[in-house]
Amino acid sequence: MLLSETDAPTPRPELLYDFVERWAVRTPDATAVSYGERSWTWAQWWDRIRRAAGGLRAAGVRPADRIAYLGKNHPACLELTFAAAALGAATAMVNWRQAGDELAYVLDDCAPRVLVVDDELLPALTAIRDRLTPGLTVLVLGGEHDEYESFLAAASPVTPDPDLSDTADALLIYSSGTTGRPKGVVLGQRALVVHTENIQSIFPVDSGDVNLVAMPMFHVGGICYAFLGIRAGIASIVLREPDGPSVLAGLAAGATHAFFVPPVIARLLAAGEPAIGAVARLKYLGYGAAPMPLPLLRAALTAWPDLGFVQVYGQTELSGVVCALRAAEHRDPDRPQLLLSAGRAYPNVDVRVVDLVTGAEAPVGEQGELWFRGAQRMTGYLHRPEDTAATVTTDGWLRTGDIGRVDADGYVYIEDRLKDMIITGGENVYGPEVERVLLDHPAVTDAAIIGVPDEHWGESVKAVVVADGSIDGATLIAFCREHLAGYKCPRTVDLTAELPRNASGKILKRELRQPYWDNRDRAI
């Protein structure tokens, strides 16, 4: 009997673990991932992921639960993410650069059943051990205290549930908070699959290509970029950190695709001919997560004339990238102005520019807040329904907090920031989070955090502070370092008698920022 189209079974939606399982079947003996001197084939890696899933299940992890990873880049981070997703659970990526108070807050907020911690970071965890949830299973990864490998060896491999919903939560990535505390961005399996499919369209791969995973995987630009090579079935080289020797070693090992933040590109250019020659072997180099200074971009295009540059724009709440300026567009002699744009949105992503005063859609070419809608959008902020409702409209649009415009050809230009946020070296810093710490100092009576231009980091954090005369900037910076990750701390401090405010008492940060950003191509 022939089945009609309506009788035919509905194809199962693609899930995260499919990224690995399909290649374990099709190319079991090909290299899947390398890390230092070690490498694993697709069949070996799939076995490790299934064992990790079995170990997590034995530790009590069930659908809708969470685990957490606190560590620098390691294949185990990816193994655990796929393993938890195969159980219908989510993995919280914990920023290892966070200070004690921040770390304790995040671990309490995400309430994981299992925490895997890098041996190098054990001291940071030990310092807050009395603040951890009772009964939390902690596994040490690497070093002389390693427990992870024995955890895998003792576990029984689990066969993933083929009927798992693609709406299940899969990743939890914390972003700095507008109200002074980090917010957990929940990303579902479907959102991550669609994002990976979309990013493959701008970073095409061929058989034999190799993906270099250098950026920190607690960042959406790290882990979601790593998914690119895995879904495509090419080998991935995972770097523990994107330091110069590691990056050059990864390039020498045959990498063809890479993603760097602009400061890394600047360091490679400054390193001279050996580094420039190593980068030249790449086919595609993506960049983003922070503004790219135009002089740096032009220098890179000149240094690497045959390299395919791809600029990406997005945010954690959108699973990563929603706009891209493709390789050919970087070298279009008839449209040099495109180098100032963030490219165009994916075909299956809607973009809207909303007038800041009226709330209506702005005319083509006019400035407003950028909104995006599509399957890549986050599920919401963990435990924060009010913040979710303030960011996602009832009809599915995500308010980015970025001010920009879209021209008649669909190119997006990012020109300012509505949110009180600074992007320094690819990391987001929210002013209120730093101001909260500064105002805890007994000498400080008022404080404002702004971003100022920085030729290396894109922006750097500056504090403008009202305080008694006995305090100095160096003391305040040291105080911040006791409570915040280093990249969030002010690099410079200005002491002033009074901060400018409007009639309702709001600090006029644009007025504070203006002298530093005058006569520049961007206001961010």
Residue 418 has pLDDT above 50, yes or no: yes
pLDDT confidence of residue 65? 97
Q: Which two tokens stand for residue 208?
A: 């034999």
Over residues 167-175, the mean pLDDT reads 95
Report the chain's C-alpha Rg in angstroms.
23
Among residues of the chain, what percentage have pLDDT more than 90? 67
Question: pLDDT-based confidence at 14, cuts 50/70/90?
Answer: very high
* Closest alpha carbon to 267 in 252, 279, 284, 253: 279
Strand ranges in 38-101 using DSSP code E only, listed in sequence order: 38-41, 66-70, 90-94
The two three-digit tokens of residue 455, written as one number: 């030729």
User: Model's pTM, two decimal places?
Assistant: 0.84
Give CATH for domain 18-329: 3.40.50.12780
Q: Is there a contact between 151 and 80 (Cβ–Cβ < 8 Å)?
A: no
* Domain residue limits, the chain: 18-329, 429-517
Assess contact for 285 and 260: CB atoms under 8 A.
yes
- Of 446, 370, 449, nearest to 411 (Cα)? 370
CA distance 182 to 377: 19
The stretch 223-228 carries a mean pLDDT of 97
Read off the pLDDT of residues 327-383 as tens digits, 9 standing for 90 and up.
999 999 999 999 999 999 999 999 999 998 889 999 999 989 999 999 999 999 999
Q: Indicate the average pLDDT of the chain.
A: 90
> Distance (Å, rounded) from C-alpha 315 to C-alpha 313?
7
Burial class (CB in 10 A: 0-12, 13-18, 19+), 77: buried
DSSP helix/strand/coil, 363: coil
Q: Quote the strand ranges of 332-473, DSSP E.
A: 344-345, 350-354, 368-373, 380-381, 398-406, 412-417, 421-424, 427-430, 444-454, 458-467
429-517 adopts what CATH topology?
GMP Synthetase; Chain A, domain 3 (3.30.300)
Listed residue (113, 131, 132) closest to 59, CA to CA = 113
Cα-to-chain-centroid distance, residue 46: 25
pLDDT digits (tens, 9 = 90+) for 381-398: 999 999 999 999 999 999
In angstroms, rounded to a whole number, what is the distance separating the alpha carbons of residues 266 and 292? Answer: 10
Read off the amino acid at residue 31: T
Does an H or E element contain 115, and which? strand 114-118
CA pair distance 518, 524, nearest whole angstrom: 11
Quote the DSSP letter at residue 132: S
